[in-house]
Structure 1
């Protein structure tokens, strides 16, 4: 209302009182006069309210404002103005929604909106192609009832969507899909599904190529290594000037052999999702053997290697794969720790699960390198890796072994002070052993 609404109300009250006094003067019934005037005023107000209600219910957007006077005219104008603004805001919002729906409809990726309980609310046309969703039958259905793969149900129930999930399409097993889920609003879910079949085929081709080349190179490399060993065993019959080149050839052949072994190891790890020989492994005994090998590798460098392992705690998995992963961590500590440095190996369990840590007093790693350590052939310092004989695949093997055993790797390092590599395993991978085994 405008600023003179008080004066309008005052005039109405003055008119009501004046009319009541005038009617009472003629009738001498003052009380009935006031009551009659109030009733008439209320009837006028009620009639105006009913008229306003009828207009609000039946008015079309283009209808004119009904004729009124006084406060009613002001009220009609204000309501009409607010309705027009609301309609304009609604039209703008609807235009944005329409553009968003058209843009998502043009996407080749499926976009699915879920409520906080995981029930379907809306999806674009690509979701019908990739996931087989149909409207209106699937509206309101739980997404886990329509995508029934156990891994998807476990992924959705854990509510940990940091990493995407790859699964076959529920309507076409030949299609490989990648699921991204993001939480927004009041814990609603936005699920984006991408067809990565072509990328997976390319990745499989790469894996097959590496595996085949590595396998084919083993035979000629074995022949070359065998002849070099034979020649070097008869060093007295070799021209002295050929001795050093042949020793270097043997050294490089050994490095190549290690590289091929690591490549084949990675190929085997990627070929299956979980170790076939999944049995409880006595980690304390495994680490005892690895420590002995590390001590031999240290040799004259005289590293102090300590071991602290819970003898009651076993880890389910493949002993050969776990040996490969753990030994990579320990041997790396030996390689990159200065002479007479200290290396601590620990295996323990707590409420978060099982943990294996390898801590060294070595040269440390700069923070910018840590996130890329598990990439294939990634080296913090290529010249240093060449000196130590590394292949650049050790930590990639560690990563794949941990993934296959539902574990993860954490790295904490300070340049000049050393590094700590810690493997974490969930509770369902652990087995308690009643009778402890003795060890050194």
Structure 2
């Protein structure tokens, strides 16, 4: 018990003793005790009323003059107010510094509450998104950014990948949205101008498409002459026959690369058309038959299991290209006598094509980059398998056009599993 409380209890004890003494003298101890206690209670209520009025007054109001425990309460309350005021000034300076720094950013920053309503944004957000202050404060962000892709992205609450859409105020400007959850489902939106990157990407696509088209004609001429010379190889010296054989192999490899580059270019530049039902069973049966022919005398055991939906909506040629790339890769990278399992099943509201082999496997650090163009987990195998390094890139783009995704699981020496998932 603090010293202030001890003094207050001692004061109350003195009052009670004084009241009883006076009461015995006047032969009314009970009434005197009640009168003194009522006076003491009235004093406490008066001090409580003064405290209430003082707390409602401005913070710089003078302290009421009193004594005892109420004097200590008033003094400690003033100290608490002063500490709180210092903390408020400190927090406000931090907030002002954060707002000044975010206002200087070239990227837009927006804060959205758990209900999806705008709370705050910086100057760049006004330029990128056309927001107006204070009119748009408290408005749903999906009402201010009217893009179906953004609404779907915002509502699904899965923000692992960023979203790129045109700016709502300038269709020639492309913005990349990244959302981070914090607090009680509040959201922090970062918006970056990727117009330049988008233009460079379009230039790259056009360059690859144009170069592929331009190389196709001269390469066809060269391949034709090499083939013609190869028909008369027995009339040429022995060392020339070896050179012609290598020229023929490399020209065929170049033709395969150009063919895959053109396929990728079509996938990237061709707008989506109305998908049609694709019969999966005959498609996979034909691809597996081609895979057995590719295996030839290597003794692979290729099994096909079909229990999924008979048809999926899509584009037959693109699906054939994706499926054949996965299955043919399994044949190429599985040692002689290995097993390859191809399954078409329905799982978790998805139609899934699983290609599983017991081949050489892929190291874990290579898996995230397998769908990059020309990326090889082992470049030394390129001549042996005759691949172009574009097969999995084609698979990825085909799945993107069909709303699907590719999952890869592999372990060195134990084989690989590739799963194509299509939403039903």
What's the TM-score bracket when you normalise by the shorter of the two chains? over 0.9
Q: 1:87 to 1:273 in 2, by over 3 A?
A: farther
Q: Does 1:28 align with 2:27?
A: yes
Q: Deviations over 1:56-92 (max 9, x none)?
A: 121434x554433211221122112221221222222
Q: Does 1:37 align with 2:36?
A: yes
RMSD: 1.6
Instruction: Give the length in aligned residue pairs.
Output: 424
- 1:303, 1:341 within 8 Å by CA — same for their partners in 2? yes
SS of structure 1 residue aligned to 2:421: strand
Tell me the residue number matched to 1:305.
302
Tell me the residue number matched to 2:368.
371
Tell me the residue number matched to 1:436.
none
Tell me the residue number matched to 1:225.
223
- 1:214, 1:264 within 8 Å by CA — same for their partners in 2? yes
Residue from 280, 285, 288 that aligns with 2:285: 288
Aligned partners of 1:291 and 1:177: how far apart in 2? Answer: 43
Q: CA deviation at 1:29?
A: 3.1
- 2:142, 2:150 within 8 Å by CA — same for their partners in 1? yes
Tell me the residue number matched to 1:358.
355
SS of structure 2 residue aligned to 1:371: helix
SS of structure 1 residue aligned to 2:82: helix
Q: 1:311 to 1:41 in 2, by over 3 A?
A: closer
Q: CA deviation at 1:335?
A: 0.6
Q: Deviations over 1:153-198 (max 9, x none)?
A: 1111211111001100011101100010111111111111111001
Q: Does 1:382 align with 2:379?
A: yes
Aligned partners of 2:199 and 2:228: how far apart in 1? Answer: 44
Aligned partners of 2:144 and 2:194: how far apart in 1? Answer: 20
Structure 1 residues 18-417: aligned runs within 5 Å: 18-25=17-24, 27-61=26-60, 63-272=61-270, 274=272, 276=273, 278-310=275-307, 312-417=309-414
Moved more, 285-294 or 27-36: 27-36
Aligned partners of 2:231 and 2:315: how far apart in 1? Answer: 38
- 2:308, 2:346 within 8 Å by CA — same for their partners in 1? no
SS of structure 2 residue aligned to 1:156: helix
Task: Structure 2 unaligned segments of length 5 or more: list them.
Answer: none
Which aligned segments of 4 or more residues in structure 1 are displaced greater than 6 angstroms? none
SS of structure 2 residue aligned to 1:182: strand
Task: Structure 1 unaligned segments of length 5 or more: list them.
Answer: 428-440
Aligned partners of 1:320 and 1:268: how far apart in 2? Answer: 12
Aligned partners of 2:371 and 2:20: how far apart in 1? Answer: 97
Q: CA deviation at 1:15?
A: 2.6
SS of structure 2 residue aligned to 1:380: coil
Q: 1:285 to 1:397 in 2, by over 3 A?
A: same
Q: Deviations over 1:340-379 (max 9, x none)?
A: 1111111011333110011111101111111111111111
Q: CA deviation at 1:39?
A: 2.0
- 1:20, 1:34 within 8 Å by CA — same for their partners in 2? yes
Q: 1:419 to 1:221 in 2, by over 3 A?
A: same
Aligned partners of 1:26 and 1:366: how far apart in 2? Answer: 103
- 1:366, 1:414 within 8 Å by CA — same for their partners in 2? yes
Aligned partners of 1:258 and 1:293: how far apart in 2? Answer: 17
SS of structure 1 residue aligned to 2:369: coil
- 1:295, 1:305 within 8 Å by CA — same for their partners in 2? yes
SS of structure 2 residue aligned to 1:194: strand
TM-score (normalizing by structure 1): 0.93
- 1:273, 1:404 within 8 Å by CA — same for their partners in 2? no
Q: Deviations over 1:198-249 (max 9, x none)?
A: 1111111111111111110000001111111112123333333211101110
- 1:412, 1:421 within 8 Å by CA — same for their partners in 2? yes
Moved more, 69-78 or 199-208: 69-78
Aligned partners of 1:253 and 1:387: how far apart in 2? Answer: 16
Moved more, 226-235 or 405-414: 226-235
Q: Deviations over 1:7-59 (max 9, x none)?
A: 21322222321332244245433333222212221221122112222221214
